Each structure stands twice: as structure tokens, then as C-alpha cells.
Structure 1
């Protein structure tokens, strides 16, 4: 079996680094950002599994970045939070509307059997739950972690990283993470349609939301499952 190349971080701009996602949509593995700071780095999303989180941890060490002190959730969906239990000694931050959702998710009896049973009961869950099964090597010590610190509208961390709630159809707790000194806006999945099992035929991208987020103060716009876009590229997207 050929060796798998280790995950590596690439610097996007200023102190923002990206761990790329998997381009295969069936794997549902998005990018994760690290905002480096000597006071402690900020991790934006946890990875979609403990194994993914450990890959990111190795990449952070290889890049020589300061250890992670804060973990900011862009929203509560599994591919953004299931790696959280592999991040010890970090403060998890998310929008208040996602906290109770994740408490309920934490109470579910996660296992491969449970995933199969859920898909049998609701076949529309198939793509998401099969991706979860592929992501998880095992369930020992796995736990879904709600944010320990919440906010309602905006929150600025000591490192100058800003969290802003935007909501939307994809998830009620969708949050954008802004790094003003680096000119980077991390959008998560905020402008995506609802998840596949909840999506209606006419649901699409919320380009009006993107339009409202564009600003000359930010040169880069990053969603979790696509390539980073410059301000000019983002403007072309919303005008097409």
C-alpha cells in the first residue's frame, strides 16, 4: 500500500494558515484554519474526526506554529466539530444557538451500528452518515463537545480574531471568523443550502449573504469546502 502524504498547512495571508480539505465530496472533510499567535493560536473548526484532528496537530507542530488555545466553531455540523475531543486544554467557543443542539448530539449513542440503523430509518441521511462511518476509526473516548463559551452577536478574542453570528439556511448558529490584520474572512458553510437530508429542490447558495459580507477590509474569503477566493473573485461570484 502506498504511503499517504501527511497533511500540511499552507499560509494564506498574514498569520492565517489553512489545512486543506478533501476534494472528494463523499468524504465531507472541509478545510480547517489556524490563526497563529504567540498568546495562543486560534483553531477555526475542529476537524471531522479525532484522526483528522491529530493530523492537523502534527501539521501545526511541523509548521512551528504556537499551540492552539482557542477553538472556534463556525457551526455545529459534525464535520466541523467531531474532532474537538482530540484537542485537550483548549477553550471551545461557539454561537449560543448551537450549544443545545450539540448537547443533544452528545447524548446520541454514536457507533457504526447506530449510523446504519439511522440510515435504514431515514435513507436521506445516507451520504452524511456513511461519511461519518468512514471518518471514524473507532468510538473509544469519542464525545461530541458543545462550546463551553458562547456568544450571541459578536465576540472578539484576545488575539484580535472576531466571531460574528450570521445564521442562515445551512445552520442557525453559522458564524464567520474575521482576521482583520490579515485581511481574511473565514465563512465556514454559512452561505450553503441546508444539509442534503433537509434540502428542498429549489434550495441553493445564499449569494445575498455573501454580498453582505464582502468588504474592502478583507482580501480573502474562505469557505470550508472550496478554494479560497480573493475579493474580486467573490464579487464575480455574487454578480454572476
Structure 2
């Protein structure tokens, strides 16, 4: 079983899968005696269940808040496996996830969509790999949203940054631990929407690094320590 990795302070990570075809991002847990905040839901109920087992094995409290860094499937499809959590996201995520929730998800639907648009292939093959079955699956729309910033009762800070990857992208900052969780905020658009001119948003990267947090964590890479951090 994969275990949670302690990063700093009260931040723990369930590591991403380095296989790019798996599209399995890291999931973060920010936990102390005030409770646990989960950052991203996992790419499927199976993934979410593995994270739940790792949280229990680490002796951390079960999450009561689940934050979506953005609406993409690999960050939200595990949400139906999380019980008794309040799901929080940026306002722009609501319409996007409501549209996703109306789709007739199944392996046949995935095949049909790829046949119509082959550029969907990498993403939709990864979805098929993540979902051995569809019983009980649903796309969970956020219970609470915000526009610019939101500070949770545990002191965790959420900030909308947008960007080309997803309009609802937000970053999650735990000042007590010196950790900023980035999701995919500086990535180019998804493959099926990407043009030859699209690339990483290095302007956004530069602005976030200028804040000089001790750790920066995007969802598909190992954590990066800030070399000039004072934290």
C-alpha cells in the first residue's frame, strides 16, 4: 500500500503516479487537531479509497473539507467516495462540473467520444484505466464556492489564480507549514484544446515563486523546495 509522505508541518502527500498515461495526481492532506483538509479528490473512487486507507494508517483525522484545485476529472472524480465532506472550489467550477455531471459516463461513451475526436484519446484512455466500473459514480458539484480568496477555519488559504490550464484554477497555501499546493495552475491547456503556441505559464510561476514559500507542489511532479525561502 502506498503511504502518505510527510512534507512539512501539517502537510502530507499521497504521491502522484509518475506514469504519464495513468494521469494520477498527488493528493494532499493538511491535518492537525483542528481537523483535516483534503486537497483534490483523486482521479477515481478507487484512487480515493487508497488515499483514505493511507490517511487512516497515518493516524490522521478523516477530512471534513475537500478542496478542488480545479474541475478536471483527475482532480475531482474521486469525490463520490468521500463521505461527510464539504466540497469547496472556485465559482467558475460549478457550471463546468454541472456539465460534466450530465454526461453518460461509461466505457462505451469514452470509446465513442474518442472515435469522434481522437485528440481526446490520452485523457479518455486514462479515465477508462482509472474506472474499472461505474456503479455509484457521480461527478460532485462544489457545495461552497468563492471568487478571489477564502481562508478556512483551519487557517488554510485558498486563492484563485486562473490561467490557461483551467479558468477555475486555485492555489492552496498553508502558511504554518510554508507549503503552497499548485494543482496544475501553470500548465498549458489540456491536450485536446492545446495549440502549438501553448506552453507552461512561466509568468505565473515567477509570481508564485516570488512569494518565497518553503515548498511548492504541483500535482504531477515531486515537491520542489524554494532555494531562497526564509521559512
Q: Is the 8 A contact 2:36 2:64 kept in 1?
A: yes
Aligned CA-pair RMSD: 1.2
**Which of the residues 79, 82, 97 maps onto 1:84?**
79
Pick one of 49, 61, 65 that aligns with 2:60.
65
CA distance in 2, matches of 1:90, 1:59: 17
Q: How does the TM-score come out when normalised to structure 1?
A: 0.93
Q: TM-score, normalised by structure 2?
A: 0.97
- Offset of 1:214 from its aligned partner? 1.9
Mapped to 2, the partners of 1:109 and 1:64 lie a distance apart of 38
Deviation at 1:216, TM superposition (A): 4.9
Partner SS state of residue 87, structure 2: strand
Aligned equivalents of 1:38, 1:138: Cα separation in 2: 36
Counterpart position of 2:122: 127
- From the superposition, tell whether residues 202 and 216 of structure 1 become closer, same or farther in structure 2 (CA, over 3 Å): closer
Q: Quick check: 1:179 aligned with 2:174?
A: yes
**4+ residue runs of structure 1 moved beyond 4 angstroms?**
none
Tell me how far apart the structure 2 counterparts of residues 126 and 16 of structure 1 sit (CA, whole Å). Answer: 34
Distance 2:111 2:17 in 1: 23
- Residue 151 of structure 2 corresponds to 156
Which has the larger share of helix? 1
- Stretches of structure 2 that go unaligned for 5 or more consecutive residues are none
The gaps in structure 1 that reach 5 residues or longer are: 1-5, 235-240
Aligned mate of 1:218, from 213, 219, 225:
213
Q: Residues 129 and 105 of structure 1: is their aligned pair in 2 closer, same or farther, counting only changes over 3 Å?
A: same
Counterpart residue number, 1:165: 160
What is the CA-CA distance between 1:37 and the residue it aligns to?
A: 2.3
Contact 1:180–1:217, Cα closer than 8 Å, also in 2: no
What's the counterpart of residue 99 of structure 1? 94
Residues 233, 224 of structure 1: alpha-carbon distance in 2 compared, 3 angstrom cutoff: farther
Cα deviation for residue 53 of structure 1 reads 0.1
Number of residue pairs the alignment of both structures matches:
229
* Deviation string, structure 1 residues 116-155 (Cα, Å, up to 9, x no partner): 0000000000000000000001000000001110000000
- The CA deviation at 1:210 is 1.0
Within-5 A mapping of 1:106-121: 106-121=101-116
Residue 88 of structure 1 aligns to a residue whose secondary structure is coil
Looking at structure 1, the residues matched to 142 and 206 of structure 2 have their Cα atoms a distance apart, in angstroms, of 29
- Contact conserved, 2:76 with 2:139, CA < 8 A, in 1? yes
How far does the alpha carbon of each residue in 1:53-91 deviate from its partner, in whole angstroms, 9 at most, with x for none?
Answer: 000000000000111010000000000000000001000
Q: Quick one: distance in 2 between partners of 1:169 and 1:96?
A: 17
Change (3 A) 1:216 1:114: closer
TM-aligned CA deviation for residue 215 of structure 1 = 4.0
